[in-house]
Chains A and B, each alone.
Chain A
Amino acid sequence: EDQVTQSPEALRLQEGESSSLNCSYTVSGLRGLFWYRQDPGKGPEFLFTLYSAGEEKEKERLKATLTKKESFLHITAPKPEDSATYLCAVLKGAGGTSYGKLTFGQGTILTVHP
Chain B
Amino acid sequence: EAQVTQNPRYLITVTGKKLTVTCSQNMNHEYMSWYRQDPGLGLRQIYYSMNVEVTDKGDVPEGYKVSRKEKRNFPLILESPSPNQTSLYFCASRWGAKDTQYFGPGTRLTVL
Residues in A lying within 8 Å of B, measured CB to CB: 31-32, 34, 36, 41-46, 49, 51, 87, 89, 91, 94, 97, 99-107
Contacts and interface: CB of A to CB of B under 8 A. Distances in A.
B90 A44 contact: yes
A100 B100 contact: no
A49 B106 contact: no
Nearest to A104: B43
Q: Is the interface of B mostly helix, strand, loop or mixed?
A: strand
Given A43-B105, A46-B101, A102 B45 contact: yes
A65 to B, nearest CB: 18
B64 interface: no
A104 B105 contact: no
A99 B40 contact: no
A32 B98 contact: yes
B67 to A, nearest CB: 17
Contacts of B102: 46
Contacts of B33: 102
Interface in B89-104: 90, 92, 97-98, 100-104
Nearest to A49: B100
B29 to A, nearest CB: 12
B100 A46 contact: yes
A104 B97 contact: no
10 contacts: A42-B106, A89-B43, A97-B57, A100-B31, A100-B48, A100-B50, A101-B45, A102-B33, A103-B45, A104-B42
